[in-house]
């Protein structure tokens, strides 16, 4: 085999059934999602109701519906590696950094809802799968979100068979239009204990209000205020004091598809930059002939492969039942920082067109900047990893 015959597109090989799933998702994105998305405004985060319904009908028919949720409740039952495959491919559209596949594949409820009672699973989890009920998860507060065991001030006071929740949550995605949410509040009044408990709360419960927080992208998170919000004991998710463990489980596993999604965005950006370089004439030769451009492309591909393998490893270990706190943190930091660098290079390769709203690059550039903060800032993950290494 000579160098021209070499396949440079692959790396670690996925199981055959996940290769088939990846190819199915890719075709669905190209043939169905992108044509609809291209008709929407540049910074749109939603599709017209009729077009979204048509996409969702097609996704259901193709077996691409709520794929991370348990099969017994109507989901696809994918493990973490399968979720990674879906997340990367579904991110390859303009909305992909925050609305994978423009919402065509349904709304997977937060995985921790399946730790609840059968009534909670049916009322909230199944309602999300079957009826498209939207949700939010409220952890972060103004005092910080990186260490919820210490920074959560929101309190839930028990009175008989009910709890009264008071406090304010910050940076909560999707809270305004949600139907329900999972709220983490402190039930232990002692200064030393975690004492955090999780609650499933209907969005329309009296005392809940939302206020938009403007950020670098057009899709805003919210401040959510709980003013004497009264919920029944049956709204508690798990036992009192188990909220921090529930929170950690959700955060750790969520970081892996999160990492895969930004890799998908960056890979799509690199494809645009490569196509541009191969047809753009500059100073009597193609842009792709310039060594500076070649090295930017080569560095981007190498870094994306490394980030992808770390993400696959985290997912694989998660499916084996291993503790993946460290793996997930490494994948999240490497993927988000790599994706930011790659998209920055792609903007540079396209020059003025890289900044134009005619292309998706400037939108991805803004959105990927947030990804280095969401799901825990890079610095916090580095701090935790360093502590573990120095302690061992």
Active site residues: 375
Can you read off the two tokens belonging to residue 201?
């709360």
Beta carbons within 8 Å of 339's beta carbon, 6+ residues apart: 262, 263, 265, 266, 304, 307, 368, 371
232, with CB counted inside 10 A (0-12, 13-18, 19+), is exposed
Can you read off the two tokens belonging to residue 349?
């390769």
Beta carbons within 8 Å of 346's beta carbon, 6+ residues apart: 269, 270, 272, 273, 300, 354, 361
SS3 content of the chain, % helix, strand, coil (to 5): 55, 15, 35
Three-class DSSP category at 349: helix
- Phi, psi (rounded to 5 degrees) for 116: -80, -170
Give the residue among 160, 7, 17 at the shortest CA–CA distance from 77: 17
Q: Are 262 and 308 in contact (CB under 8 A)?
A: no
β-strands 281-282, 285-286 pairing: antiparallel
Beta carbons within 8 Å of 230's beta carbon, 6+ residues apart: 162, 163, 164, 165, 205, 206, 207
CA distance 252 to 230: 30
Give the residue among 107, 112, 98, 103 at the shortest CA–CA distance from 74: 107
CA distance 294 to 354: 17
Give the residue among 26, 82, 7, 103 at the shortest CA–CA distance from 264: 26
Angle CA 141–364–268, to nearest 5: 130
């Amino acid at each position: 085999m000579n160098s021209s015959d070499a396949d440079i597109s692959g790396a670690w090989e996925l199981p055959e059934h996940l290769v088939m799933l990846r190819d199915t998702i890719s075709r669905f994105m190209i043939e169905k999602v992108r044509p609809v998305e291209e008709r929407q405004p540049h910074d749109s985060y939603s599709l017209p109701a009729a077009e979204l319904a048509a996409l969702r009908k097609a996704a259901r028919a193709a077996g691409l519906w709520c794929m991370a949720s348990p099969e017994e409740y109507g989901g696809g039952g994918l493990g973490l590696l399968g979720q990674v495959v879906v997340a990367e491919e579904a991110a390859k559209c303009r909305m992909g950094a925050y609305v994978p596949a423009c919402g065509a594949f349904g709304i997977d409820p937060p995985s921790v809802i399946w730790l609840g009672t059968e009534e909670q699973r049916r009322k909230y989890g199944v309602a999300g799968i079957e009826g498209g009920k939207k949700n939010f998860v409220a952890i972060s507060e103004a005092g910080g979100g990186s260490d919820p065991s210490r920074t959560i001030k929101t309190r839930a006071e028990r009175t008989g068979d009910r709890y009264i929740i008071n406090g304010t949550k910050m940076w909560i995605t999707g809270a305004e239009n949600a139907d329900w949410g999972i709220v983490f509040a402190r039930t232990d009044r002692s200064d030393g204990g975690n004492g955090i408990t999780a609650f499933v709360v209907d969005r329309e419960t009296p005392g809940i209000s939302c206020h938009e927080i403007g950020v670098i992208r057009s899709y805003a998170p919210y401040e959510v205020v709980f003013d004497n919000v009264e919920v029944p004991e049956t709204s508690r998710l798990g036992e009192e004091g188990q909220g921090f463990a529930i929170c950690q489980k959700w955060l750790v596993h969520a970081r892996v598809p999160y990492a895969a999604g930004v890799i998908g965005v960056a890979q799509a950006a690199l494809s645009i930059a490569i196509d541009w370089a191969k047809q753009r004439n500059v100073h009597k030769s193609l842009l792709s002939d310039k060594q500076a451009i070649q090295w930017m492309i080569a560095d981007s591909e190498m870094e994306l492969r490394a980030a992808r393998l770390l993400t696959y490893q985290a997912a694989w270990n998660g499916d084996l039942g291993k503790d993946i706190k460290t793996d997930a943190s490494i994948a999240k930091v490497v993927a988000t920082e790599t994706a930011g660098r790659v998209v920055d290079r792609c903007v540079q390769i396209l020059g003025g067109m890289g900044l134009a709203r005619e292309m998706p690059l400037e939108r991805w550039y803004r959105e990927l900047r947030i990804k280095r903060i969401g799901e825990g800032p890079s610095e916090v993950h580095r701090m935790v990893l360093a502590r573990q290494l120095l302690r061992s």
